[in-house]
């Protein structure tokens, strides 16, 4: 069974499951966890273990959602505004 997943739904899932403890940890310490996951992704990208690569991409995305949640950022809206609006910048990120 395939279940459609949206950025918004996943961000809410992360919020429902982890936000209380994430807010208590704060942005600075949470950012360090995020960076650690980015490092693990970098290591996985240099390896041959596809399962690990999938896991690390998922971890980075989960921690990005955590950072957005504790900073009151709706990632769907942020992406829409930056990349999908009529006045979005063209040609660069």
CATH code of the domain covering residue 54: 1.10.287.1080
Cβ atoms of residues 63 and 33 within 8 Å = yes
**Domain presence at residue 83:** no
Over 70: is that where the pLDDT of 91 sits?
no
Rounded Cα distance, 72 and 27, in Å: 11
- Number of domains composing the chain: 1
Does some domain include residue 36?
yes
Q: Is residue 90 part of a domain?
A: no
Tokens of 79: 């992406």
pTM, 2 dp: 0.89
Rounded CA gap, 72 and 54, in Å?
Answer: 27
Domain-embedded: residue 39: yes
Q: How many other C-beta atoms can be found within 10 angstroms of the C-beta atom of residue 56?
A: 21
Residue 1 has pLDDT above 60, yes or no: no
Cα separation, 39 vs 50, in Å, equals: 16
Expressed as residue numbers, the domain containing 30 is 26-78
- 33 is a domain residue: yes
């Amino acid at each position: 069974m395939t279940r459609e997943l949206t950025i918004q739904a996943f961000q809410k899932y992360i919020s429902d499951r982890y936000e209380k403890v994430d807010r208590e940890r704060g942005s600075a310490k949470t950012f360090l966890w995020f960076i650690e996951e980015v490092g693990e992704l970098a290591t996985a990208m240099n390896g041959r273990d596809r399962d690990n690569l999938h896991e690390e991409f998922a971890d980075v995305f989960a921690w990005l959602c955590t950072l957005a949640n504790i900073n009151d950022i709706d990632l769907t809206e942020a992406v829409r505004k930056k990349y999908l609006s009529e006045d979005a910048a063209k040609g660069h990120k």
